[in-house]
Amino acid sequence: MDPAHSGAALPPPDAGDFAAILRRQGCYPQIPQMSPAGASLPSHASGGVTQTHGTTILAFKYADGVLVAGDRRATAGNLVVYDRADKVLEIDADSLMAIAGVPATAWEMARVLEHSFQFYRRSQLQEMSLEGKVRALSKLLRDNLGLVLQGVGVVVPLFATYDRQAGVARLYFYDAMGAQFEAADYAATGSGSGAIRSILHYENTWGKKVLAKRKESEAVILALRALDTAAESDTATGGVDRRGRVYPIVKLITQAGIRTLAEKDLARIFNKEVR
C-alpha cells in the first residue's frame, strides 16, 4: 500500500483529484485513445462504428432556480436504440449534469464527476468550490478530445448547480473541447437544440414574462412544449410516448436541492397543457 512509508514522501500534487488516481490505475478513460502514429480506431466517417447518441436537453432559469429537462430517446443512425434513456444525471445534492451526445462516454464522465466531488470532500475535508466543479467537467471533456477527433464519443453537456454562497442557481454549457460558458437565461444542446433555442429566445424576449420570472408550473409547461416541438422536426428527439407513457425527465434545482418531477405529475400537466 505504501512503499514510501518510512521515507518522507509528500503527497502528490494531484491530491484530491480522483480522475488522476483512476488514470494512474488505468481505470479511466476505459476506451483506448488514439496512438500518436495514427488512428487506432476506425473513424466515424469511414462508417466503421455506428454510435449511439442521446439528444436534446434544455435548461433555463425560472423564479425558484434552474429547470433541466431532457427527452428520453437514444439513437444510432436511423435506429432508435432506447426510449427510456435518462440524460439528466444527479452528480451531488446540488448539481445536475445533462448530456447530449454519446451515452457511453457521457455516463462514464458523470460517474467520474460524481466520485470526484465526493472523493475531494472526503479526502480534503472541504467541499469542492463551485468553480472547481465546473472546471472538473471541463477537464474531463478535454481528456476526451482524442476520441472526439476520431469521430467517437463526442459529448456536449450542460451543468447546473446551486451556488450556496451567492444563493442563486447557476447554469453552464460546454463545447466538445471543454470550453465552459455560463448561461444568463437558458441553454440547450443536442440535435433538437436549434428549435429549443428559438423557442426559449422567443419566450424570453416577447413572451408574457421573461423566463426568470416564471413560476414552476409555467416553467414545466414550457419545457414540455419545447421538447415536443423539437421532436416534431428532429427524428433523434423522442417526443412523449403516449401509449408507453414515457415522459421527458424534468428536474429542478432550487435552494432546497434537487427535485425530480414525478411521472404522474408530468402526465397530468402534459394531458392538460401540452396535448
Partner 1 sequence: MIEEPYRWVEAIANRREYIEHQLAGGSPIAALSYRDGILLFTLGRERQKLFEIYDRIGMGAIGHPGDIERLRMAAIEIASTEGFARSAHDVSLRRLANYSLSPALKAAFEQIYGAPYLTRMLLAELGRGGPNLFLRLDYDGAIHTNGGVFGRAFEEFGVISGSQASAAKMELFLRGKNFARASLEDVAAIACDAWTIGHLALADGEGEDLPSAGDIAKHRSAQLAAASIEAAVLDRSSALPITWRPLPESWLRPLLEASD
Cell numbers for 97: 449534469
Q: Which is nearer to partner 1, 27 or 210 (CB)?
A: 27
CA distances from 237 to 56, 100, 213 (A): 6, 11, 28
Contacts with 8 (C-beta within 8 Å, 6 or more apart), sequence order: none
| CA dist., res. 19 & res. 30, Å (int) | 12
Residue 34 Cβ vs partner 1, minimum distance, rounded to whole Å: 24
Residue 87 Cβ vs partner 1, minimum distance, rounded to whole Å: 20
Binding mask 134-153 for partner 1 (x = CB under 8 A): --------------------
| CA dist., res. 87 & res. 70, Å (int) | 6
Q: Which is nearer to partner 1, 2 or 36 (CB)?
A: 2
Residue 132 Cβ vs partner 1, minimum distance, rounded to whole Å: 17
Q: Are 228 and 239 in contact (CB under 8 A)?
A: yes
Under rule CB under 8 A, residue 25 binds partner 1: yes
Under rule CB under 8 A, residue 254 binds partner 1: no
| CA dist., res. 189 & res. 155, Å (int) | 10
Q: Which is nearer to partner 1, 44 or 121 (CB)?
A: 121
Q: Are 258 and 252 in contact (CB under 8 A)?
A: yes
| CA dist., res. 119 & res. 66, Å (int) | 26
Residue 246 Cβ vs partner 1, minimum distance, rounded to whole Å: 25
Q: Are 83 and 72 in contact (CB under 8 A)?
A: yes
Q: Which is nearer to partner 1, 20 or 39 (CB)?
A: 20
Amino acid at 10: L
Q: Which is nearer to partner 1, 7 or 47 (CB)?
A: 7
Under rule CB under 8 A, residue 38 binds partner 1: no
Region 116-135 residues binding partner 1, contact defined as CB under 8 A? 118-119, 121-123, 125
| Cα angle 78-84-89, degrees, rounded to a multiple of 5 | 110
Q: Which is nearer to partner 1, 25 or 165 (CB)?
A: 25
Q: Of the listed pieces 70-78, 114-122, 150-158, 184-192, which binds partner 1 according to CB under 8 A?
A: 114-122
Q: Is 205 among the catalytic positions?
A: no
Under rule CB under 8 A, residue 168 binds partner 1: no
Q: What is 109-170 written as a DSSP string?
A: HHHHHHHHHHHHHHHHSSPPPHHHHHHHHHHHHHHTHHHHHTT---EEEEEEEEETTTTEEE
Candidates 52, 55, 205, 254; catalytic one = 55
Under rule CB under 8 A, residue 11 binds partner 1: yes
Q: Catalytic residue positions?
A: 55
**Binding interface with partner 1 (CB under 8 A):** 1-2, 5-6, 11, 18, 21-22, 25, 27, 93, 111-112, 115, 118-119, 121-123, 125
